[in-house]
Amino acid sequence: MSSNRLQVLENSLVKKEAELQRRFYNHFNTWKQTNGQPMNDKANGGAFFRKVEKQNDAIRNMKASIEKTKNAIEKEKSKIANVEAQSIPLELQNLINEGKITQWRKFPNRFFVVGVEKARLVWMEKEKYVTYQYLKDIPNQEQYAIFRDIFNDLNRTLNKKQS
């Protein structure tokens, strides 16, 4: 399983690593410009060293940025692993696959109904039944009807199994 965020982070990492390579190439070319001559002349020596130091800073910043992105990728992968480790019934998984509900990564037993604000479905794993939260906060009847239909179908199938 992969998330959009993981894809974005991985693409960002590829771009940042390519940018780091470009900066290294420019940095080495700057040093090649000296032709092996010492840069201690009074005319341009200071400017050259400021340019080199600026490039060094840019390379260090890029390396730090790459490290942050790698850490974010690891964190995202652990969140995905946490969601995958959550045991949910087949009926909920089918709704996720159909795109009717989405699973909350922070609390993997909670699900958002696509197109409905505020309210959420909750899978009570120990008790093995589905319930809801924040039903009264749904702003309009159209959203309420969508939520009601999905919840009632799940309630009929999942909660009946437990009875």
Task: Look at residue 57 in the predicted model and tell me its pLDDT.
Answer: 94
**Interval 124-141: pLDDT, tens:** 878 788 888 888 888 888
Buried b (16+ CB within 10 A) or exposed e, 86-116: eebbeebeebeeeebbebeeeebbbbbbeeb
Task: Look at residue 63 in the predicted model and tell me its pLDDT.
Answer: 95
Residue 37 pLDDT more than 80?
no
- Give 114-121's long-range contacts (Cβ < 8 A, gap of 24+): 115/143, 115/146, 116/143, 116/144, 116/146, 116/147, 117/143, 119/143, 119/147, 121/92, 121/150, 121/151, 121/154
Q: In what helix (H) or strand (E) does residue 105 lie, and over which residues does it extend?
A: none
For range 112-126, the mean pLDDT: 85
For range 113-129, the mean pLDDT: 84
Residue 155 DSSP class: I
Residue 156 DSSP class: I
Residue 42 pLDDT more than 80?
no
Residue 90 banded pLDDT, cuts 50, 70, 90: confident
Task: Look at residue 134 in the predicted model and tell me its pLDDT.
Answer: 87
Residue 55 pLDDT more than 70?
yes
Task: Look at residue 26 in the predicted model and tell me its pLDDT.
Answer: 92
Residue 72 banded pLDDT, cuts 50, 70, 90: very high
